[in-house]
Structures are given as structure tokens and as C-alpha cells.
Amino acid sequence: MQDIQIIDKTSCYEGFFKLIRYRLKHTLFAGGWSDELLREVLERGHAAAVLPYDPEREEIVMIEQFRPGAIGHTNGAWLWEIVAGILEPGEIPSQVVYREAVEEMGCPVSDIIHINDFFVSPGSTTETTALYCGRVDASKATGIHGIASEHEDIQVHVIPFSTAMNKLQTNQINFAPAIIALQWLALHHNEVKARWKNVMC
């Protein structure tokens, strides 16, 4: 049976992120216990993200914004992403994607389909992402959006499905939720279109 023994848990920093230091041991696959480990873990809550897809126009809505973690990256610090946000206290993931769609691209999504939930980087953070695909009227997605108090500066891009797939294949998309969602849509493209055919407005 897998088990963990937490020897000590210390809060090292609390700001935009919360940094926790653990002293711990865990059971080994071969039996017995590991040596004592010292690990720092970032806690920032959990996220939800949605890939906005227009099945009538065969278009994807993506957003572009600055990310400090990408400073120095070959493709630059402005990443092509999909709509995403952090869960506020009491929120569920579906509420987040509906809210963030309006905030980040200026129009709503509907008929969301749950893709999966995944850990972002479990070697260093507790964060998980609940990932969805949502139907959108891409003709209404345009402009620059974001909440000023959060210093958001978000450019909306509406691109053909084929262009999105090309960007994915040529490593122009480096945002993990977007990569996972686009690959999922490529696998389930016909299924999604058929599912939404009967709910077209």
C-alpha cells in the first residue's frame, strides 16, 4: 500500500502564490520507506480552461497574452492560449469557463463538453486544470479584453480549425491546456460536430 509520512509542513511564502516546504517520507515500490525528502510545493488553487470552437464556421477562438514564466523562450513571452481562469472560493470549474469566456474573449460559450482533469506540474505545484471544449459563435469574438485591475491585456484571435492544427504541429502553441484540447478536438472532431448539430441556434 502506498503511503506518505509528513514529518513537517512549513509555510515559506504567501503572495500571488503560496510556497509550502515539506519534510516527508513515502513508501517505495520495492517495499520499505524512502529517505527523508525536502520538497517545496507551490499552492495557487485550481484552474479551468475551455477551447472555444465554432462548428458552423469551422473556427477556433484563441487568445494571446504575456506570461512572465515564458520570458526568454524561443517563441517569446506572448503565448497563444485558450480561455482559462482560477477557481474562486465556492466556484465549480464549469462556472469558471463561462465567466472567463466573457472576460477574456468578449462572448459566451455554451454546450461545454468535459475533456479531462490534469495536474499542471505535480513535481512542484498542487494546481490542476479542468479542461473543456465549448461551442461559440466565433463571429462575435474580437478585440482586446481582460480585467484592468488584474493587469490583463488579452488579444483575441479567430482562426480556421486547419490553421490551429498547423500551429499545433509546427510548435507555435506552447500552452499545455491548448495543446491537449486541440489534440482532443482533432480526435473527436466529427463527434463534436454531430453532437452540436441538433443544438445549433
The residues that are catalytic are 150
CA-to-CA separations, 170 to 58, 75, 120, in angstroms, rounded? 20, 12, 22
CA-to-CA separations, 85 to 7, 78, 111, 129, in angstroms, rounded? 33, 17, 18, 9
> What type of residue is 27?
T
- Give the closest residue to 189 by CA, choosing from 143, 146, 133: 133
Alpha helix locations (H) across the chain?
93-105, 161-169, 176-197
* Region of residue 191 (phi > 0: left; psi between -120 and 50: alpha; otherwise: beta): alpha
108 Cβ partners below 8 Å, 6+ apart? Answer: 98, 101, 102, 136
